[in-house]
């Protein structure tokens, strides 16, 4: 084998190792990223109240309240509250 072939082989081996390492790090970061429960809402229909002072979406904790069809607030009983965690 010529010295040029050995030089190119070693150079591309090192280049492939570095590119593979960086690519693996980026893929692991992408895979491990946790999606917020309301991420679809943030992307499709962001409401003005979810923006912070800098104009970025606040992905903090939110309170979700669902009312059953036919809910009458006059018949409210505090013991009927069910707390779910997501």
Tens digits of residue pLDDT in 4-59: 899 999 999 999 999 999 999 999 888 877 777 677 777 777 777 778 888 887 87
Q: Which comes out higher in pLDDT, residue 5 or 1?
A: 5
Largest CA distance in the chain: 90
pLDDT of residue 83 exceeding 80, the answer is no
Domain assignment present for residue 85? The answer is no
Asked whether residue 61 is assigned to any structural domain, the reply reads: yes
Which is nearest to 39 in space by CA: 28, 53, 50? Answer: 50
Within-domain flag for 27: yes
N-term to C-term CA, the chain = 62
Q: Structure pTM?
A: 0.40
Domain count, the chain: 1
For 47-72, the DSSP string reads -GGGB-TTS-B--S--------TT--
pLDDT band at 85 (very low <50, low <70, confident <90, very high): low
In sequence order, what are the residues at sequence separation of 6 or more whose Cβ sits closer than 8 angstroms to the Cβ of residue 58?
A: 50, 51, 52
Q: Which domain holds residue 25?
A: 3-80
Distance CA 81, CA 75 (A): 13
């Amino acid at each position: 084998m010529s010295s040029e072939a050995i030089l190119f082989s070693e150079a591309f081996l090192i280049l492939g190792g570095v590119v593979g390492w960086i690519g693996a790090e980026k893929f692991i970061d992408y895979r491990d990223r946790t999606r917020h429960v309301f991420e679809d809402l943030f992307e499709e229909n962001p409401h003005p109240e979810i923006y912070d002072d800098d104009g970025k979406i606040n992905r903090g904790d939110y309170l979700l309240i669902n009312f059953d069809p036919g809910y009458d607030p006059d018949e409210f009983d505090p013991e009927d509250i069910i707390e779910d965690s997501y």
